[in-house]
Amino acid sequence: MLNQNLVRRGLVVALLAASAPAAYAQQYVERELTVGASSACVPFFSTTQARYSATGMRNAGTSQFYASCSAQAGWGGDHDSGSRKVDIVARNLTDAPVKVSCTLRPGYVEGSSTSQGSFPQSYTIPAGAQHWFEWYRSSMWPESPELYIANPNFTCTVPAGVEITHLNLYMYENVGN
């Protein structure tokens, strides 16, 4: 009986100790921030082919143009963890496959004193489909885990019948203890 009471008390103390937060422990919550391309993208050169709607910015013309898309200032990871991934989404509204190219240029890289780099990708999007062009911090700077992406900028080719729908930033936010 005495042993059972000691075991029970020990379990209660262990459970309470495990559930009590450390005085200065940091808690991180994963966040996904999204902005529509209709407010984040503009043609690189003046064109009458760009059409803006609630679903994004599309090319309503017959030839491709370049678009520049920028995430809002204030998009950036917490300095302790940073943004782990950014992406831009393009949709093919045509009846044929279309090749789209996008390049990420980090607007600011915390901790970097050298060139931020340029990270291009190309993908042939099937008819009626969409594609996420994704960039991961770990593959961009594998030797420098302290760097993170903030205020990302993209340049994309926008062929006729293609729509850029939105941009995403995935980060860990320090919400304290």
Instruction: Quote the number of domains for the chain.
Output: 1
Answer yes or no: is 34 within a domain: yes
Answer yes or no: is 124 within a domain: yes
Answer yes or no: is 157 within a domain: yes
What pLDDT is attached to residue 47? 86
Answer yes or no: is 48 within a domain: yes
Answer yes or no: is 1 within a domain: no
**pTM for the model:** 0.74
What pLDDT is attached to residue 26? 63
Which CATH number does the domain housing residue 68 bear? 2.60.120
Asked whether 65 and 49 are in contact (CB, 8 A), the reply is yes
What pLDDT is attached to residue 177? 66
Coil, strand or helix at 4: helix
Spatial neighbors of 159 by CB under 8 A, at least 6 apart, are 59, 64, 98, 99, 100
Answer yes or no: is 20 within a domain: no
Answer yes or no: is 121 within a domain: yes
Distance CA 173, CA 149 (A): 14
By residue range, what is the domain housing residue 131?
27-176
Answer yes or no: is 92 within a domain: yes
Minimal CA–CA distance to 150: which of 88, 37, 72? 72
The DSSP code for 45 is S
pLDDT along the chain (177 residues), means of 10: 45 42 60 84 88 92 93 53 79 97 78 69 97 87 70 90 91 72
Distance CA 166, CA 160 (A): 18
